[in-house]
Structure 1
Amino acid sequence: TQALKVNFMDYKLIALDIDGTLTNSKKEISPRTRYALLEAQKQGKKIILASGRHPIGIYPIARDLLLDRYGGFIMAFNGGKIINCETGETVVSKLFPLEYLADIVGVLKDSNITINTYDDKRIISDNKVNDYTYVERDIIKAEMVVVDDFISAVKFNINKILLAGEPDELDRYQAILLRRYDGLLDVYKSAPYFLEIMPFGVTKGSMLPLLLQKLGIRREELAAFGDHYNDMTMIGYAGFGVAMGNAEPDVKKISDYVCESNDDDGIAKTFDRYILR
């Protein structure tokens, strides 16, 4: 950990990435971390679970942490959809522009990368399924449907596309997609084997201000915790941006504070020091 002069202020909203941040290496929330989050909510603080996951993969965690009782929020698809856990209402939603779908499929046709998206309850995958596709299925615990004609299968509103494949191949195609869709779509890694394609300008950091505005909370009253590249905008935007001890070096560089790792109760220990009264 690093020493830091943190202004002791009343953080009213706490945004938490899930994988690698809230959950440990076993994909579990430790008892100590769960207790700290319940205590924070009892003190009137709101929790927002900010993840690249589909809402289905976030709801069980939200229920376990009693976000429905305390009026917390789910931010799914890296900010593409924000849901009020108490009312079930979608507060913010940004849709993926489907006019780019056929072109993306064309760009990836000679690759070994799986293209995935989501309806309300399922993962829709093209027929180049690989081991990493199943990682996503197992994380969010949703049914996976494999289709031969991806473009024809996706005739409904979506929030994001997820590419799954070998890290080196994803890096090559990320460079191609970034050049091709510069200023049109956002393309970034959320794990070495996952590449997210999002509506332009939709990040955790760009969508949080919309929620803060609705809640009447200032950014100085927001704390955010994360570990990966898709958390950087959120950590940079928050009044108190925290990188986990296991975070990518670039994430640590832009944070206000580096706490212990996700396997060493980094969130709970930081709550004890700076957030809980």
Structure 2
Amino acid sequence: MAYEILVLDIDGTLTTSEKKVSERTLNAIFQIQERGHRVVLASGRPTPGILNLAKMLKLDEYGGFILAYNGAKVLDCKSGKTIYEKTLPMELLPELFEAAKEYKVGMLTYDTEGVIGFHVDEYIELEGRINHLSVKSVDNLISHVDSPVNKCIMTGDGMYLAEVEKKMKERFGDRLSIFRSEPFFLEIMPMNIDKAYSLERLLEHLGMTKEQMISCGDGFNDLTMIQYAGMGVAMGNAQEIVKEAADYITLTNDNDGVAHVIEKFM
């Protein structure tokens, strides 16, 4: 079967170690879109942190998609419409904010303009820099959240945050998905969110099957979509568990691994 849709993780997959997209990869992506193939950017990043990259790849012109927050939101770049979304229960947000104060950790979420942070530390600043977003420091996170959010992150030093993670799972583990994406980031998300589940919703929307899809990734959060896709591709720099699950292992993100996949299979 011909592959019609290409799903790309961003950090460690599409972008190099310097957070750039190589010219060869960029041209390969333009060429398949010219031929009618769809491109999806699937990342743990917030939506505002993906928009510039999507524009650079011309997803708004060719009809590509953004899958943000590890799958909690799927956006049609051409129409600007949300195809699928799962948000944190609004009634739990005050409890989460109180927990951040109690444990004396930083906490962030996002609005349409950027990052909103309580007890802003170096890690909240880092989240802003990674996503090229402004950071707004606030005393009360809840009073600045006027619409449902897809994700919150608690921040702090790794050893201490490991203790906070245990306590948070005891308090909220039956209602929320709580995990560390980095030693200093404790992510709080709606239950049962992953990239594969959201891609299934997108394929239903498009009337396509998973056999028509290639997924490329390098990290643990890419595992489900690599297992789900018709062809799951691990980057040469991927974690070992991702390589074991993949149908094909391409070159590294610093050696045009994505372009290699496009040229070989699409």
TM-score calculated relative to the size of structure 1: 0.89
Residue of structure 1 in register with 2:44 after alignment: 52
Q: Does 1:12 align with 2:4?
A: yes
How far apart, CA to CA, are the structure 1 residues paired with 2:91 and 2:227?
Answer: 31
SS in 2 for 1:19: coil
Q: Does 1:222 align with 2:213?
A: yes
SS in 1 for 2:78: coil
Residue of structure 1 in register with 2:129 after alignment: 138
Residue of structure 2 in register with 1:182 after alignment: 173
How far apart, CA to CA, are the structure 2 residues paired with 1:136 and 1:189?
Answer: 14
SS in 2 for 1:205: helix
How far apart, CA to CA, are the structure 2 residues paired with 1:34 and 1:189?
Answer: 31
Give the length in aligned residue pairs. Answer: 266
SS in 1 for 2:27: helix
Residue of structure 1 in register with 2:99 after alignment: 107
TM-score calculated relative to the size of structure 2: 0.92
Q: Give the superposition deviation at 1:157.
A: 1.5
2:152 to 134, 147, 161: 161
Residue of structure 2 in register with 1:91 after alignment: 83
Could you tell which deviates more after superposition, 174-183 or 88-97?
174-183
Residue of structure 2 in register with 1:213 after alignment: 204
How far apart, CA to CA, are the structure 1 residues paired with 2:30 and 2:216?
Answer: 16
Runs (5+) with no aligned partner, structure 1: 1-8
Q: Give the superposition deviation at 1:209.
A: 0.6
Q: Does 1:21 align with 2:50?
A: no
Distance change in 2, residues 1:216/1:254 (3 Å): same
8 Å CA contact 1:52, 1:190 repeated in 2: no
SS in 2 for 1:263: helix
Q: Give the superposition deviation at 1:108.
A: 3.3
Residue of structure 2 in register with 1:266 after alignment: 257
**Letter matched to residue 256 of structure 1:** D
How far apart, CA to CA, are the structure 1 residues paired with 2:39 and 2:52?
Answer: 15
1:136-188 deviation line (CA, Å, top 9, x unaligned): 11122222111112233324221111233333333333333334333421123
**Letter matched to residue 199 of structure 2:** L
Distance change in 2, residues 1:32/1:111 (3 Å): farther
Residue of structure 1 in register with 2:55 after alignment: 63
Runs (5+) with no aligned partner, structure 2: none
**Letter matched to residue 117 of structure 2:** S
% identity of equivalent residues: 40
Q: Give the superposition deviation at 1:111.
A: 4.2
Residue of structure 2 in register with 1:6 after alignment: none
Distance change in 2, residues 1:133/1:234 (3 Å): same
Residue of structure 2 in register with 1:233 after alignment: 224
Residues 71-86 of structure 1: pairs in structure 2 closer than 5 A: 71-86=63-78
8 Å CA contact 1:81, 1:92 repeated in 2: yes
How far apart, CA to CA, are the structure 1 residues paired with 2:103 and 2:38?
Answer: 43
8 Å CA contact 1:16, 1:225 repeated in 2: yes
1:17-42 deviation line (CA, Å, top 9, x unaligned): 11111111111001111111112212
